[in-house]
């Protein structure tokens, strides 16, 4: 009973801020005449780059784990994307919906849910490994999700051009070079960058709330149920197999499996709004997989601990 009570407390602490921000977006959408596309572009082009730059300048990682985690990210994302693409063809989704299905199946909510759940299940060391995963996964997660979202409406060449215009990749390169050569920015420079980055997550969640307010959550379509099952049930199995194949053991293995089993990420909703894609199906996948994780994660945590 204590286990369930503490787990419920973690879910409450992780989900309540999310619901509050999304609730603000729902109210704003219904009471104000706001342009969702413009707000989404502000979050993607203006606020996300400072967020990633400040995080990469501050994050502390253990060098011996970086290569293994990077390989895990590549294999896990690639495998889940392939599964999502195969499922989309199996159920005959159109191009835009197929793009959103791949995003829903492939990308997981590592920060809003992953961090607190890792801390509860494995303590401070578990949180450290979760931070390592997010740092290493930043480029493939955001880069590939932007590309898949763009492919919902654009050709390969147009998608590549859209990605080339994204400032986030140049920011990540600059931050990596700064870390390698030991360059640190003075506090009067870093402070506004950090402050701008801190505004990214709330605005993204507000945009998600606006998307939720613009659609009707209907009874779950069997095709959508398949996407949710793949995200919550297939993902941990894929993560377990990959960690075994590349020799990841112990606590790091448990944390990687746990974080990879989170519900569908919300950031791709904003990317789909900016670049194209079936935003409604993606938003519903996020909604239902988040509800479903209340049932899947307790079982997974008990198996891993």
Write down the pLDDT at residue 243.
Answer: 94
Write down the pLDDT at residue 144.
Answer: 63
Residue 146 and residue 242: Cα distance in Å, rounded? Answer: 24
Extract the residue ranges of the chain whose pLDDT is less than 50.
Answer: none
Write down the pLDDT at residue 274.
Answer: 65
Q: CA nearest 255: which of 112, 106, 77, 134? A: 134
CB 149 within 8 A of CB 272: yes
pLDDT tens, residue by residue, 137-170: 766 666 666 665 555 555 556 555 665 666 777 8
Domain count, the chain: 1
Write down the pLDDT at residue 259.
Answer: 92
What is the residue-averaged pLDDT of the chain?
A: 79
> Which domain range does residue 134 map to?
2-304
Return the sign of the alpha-carbon dihedral for residues 294, 300, 302, 304: negative
CB 211 within 8 A of CB 277: no
Q: CA nearest 162: which of 149, 177, 180? A: 149
What are the residues whose beta carbons fall under 8 Å from the beta carbon of 14, sequence distance 6 or more? 112, 113, 115, 116, 117
Structure tokens at 297: 């994660």
CB 129 within 8 A of CB 117: no
What are the residues whose beta carbons fall under 8 Å from the beta carbon of 77, sequence distance 6 or more? 106, 107, 137, 140, 141, 144
pLDDT tens, residue by residue, 236-275: 999 999 999 998 888 889 999 999 999 887 767 766 666 6
Q: CA nearest 74: which of 210, 256, 251, 233? A: 256
- 51 alpha carbon, distance to own chain's centre: 14
Question: What CATH number does the domain containing 90 carry?
Answer: 1.20.1530.20
């Amino acid at each position: 009973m204590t286990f369930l009570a503490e787990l419920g407390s973690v879910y409450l602490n992780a989900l309540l801020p999310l619901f509050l921000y999304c609730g603000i977006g729902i109210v704003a959408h219904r009471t104000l005449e706001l342009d969702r596309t413009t707000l989404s572009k502000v979050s993607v082009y203006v606020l996300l780059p400072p967020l990633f730059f400040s995080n990469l300048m501050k994050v502390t990682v253990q060098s011996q784990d970086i290569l293994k985690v990077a390989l895990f990210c590549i294999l896990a994302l690639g495998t889940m994307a392939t599964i999502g693409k195969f499922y989309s063809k199996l159920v005959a989704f159109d191009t835009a919906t197929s793009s959103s299905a791949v995003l829903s199946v492939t990308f997981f909510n590592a920060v809003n849910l992953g961090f607190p759940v890792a801390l509860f299940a494995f303590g401070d060391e578990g949180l450290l490994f979760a931070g390592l995963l997010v740092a290493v996964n930043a480029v493939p997660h955001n880069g590939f999700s932007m590309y898949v979202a763009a492919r919902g409406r654009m050709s390969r060449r147009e998608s590549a051009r859209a990605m080339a215009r994204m400032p986030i990749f140049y920011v990540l390169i600059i931050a990596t070079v700064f870390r390698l050569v030991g360059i640190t920015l003075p506090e009067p420079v870093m402070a506004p960058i950090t402050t701008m980055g801190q505004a990214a997550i709330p605005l993204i969640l507000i945009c998600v709330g606006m998307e939720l307010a613009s659609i009707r959550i209907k009874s779950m379509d069997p095709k959508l149920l398949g996407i949710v099952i793949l995200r919550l049930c297939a993902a941990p199995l894929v993560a377990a197999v990959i960690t075994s194949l590349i020799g990841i053991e112990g606590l790091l293995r448990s944390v990687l499996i746990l974080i990879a089993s989170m519900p569908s990420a919300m950031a791709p909703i904003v990317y789909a709004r900016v670049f194209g894609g079936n935003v409604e199906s993606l938003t519903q996948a996020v909604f239902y997989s988040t509800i479903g994780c209340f049932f899947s994660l307790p079982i997974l945590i008990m198996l891993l601990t």
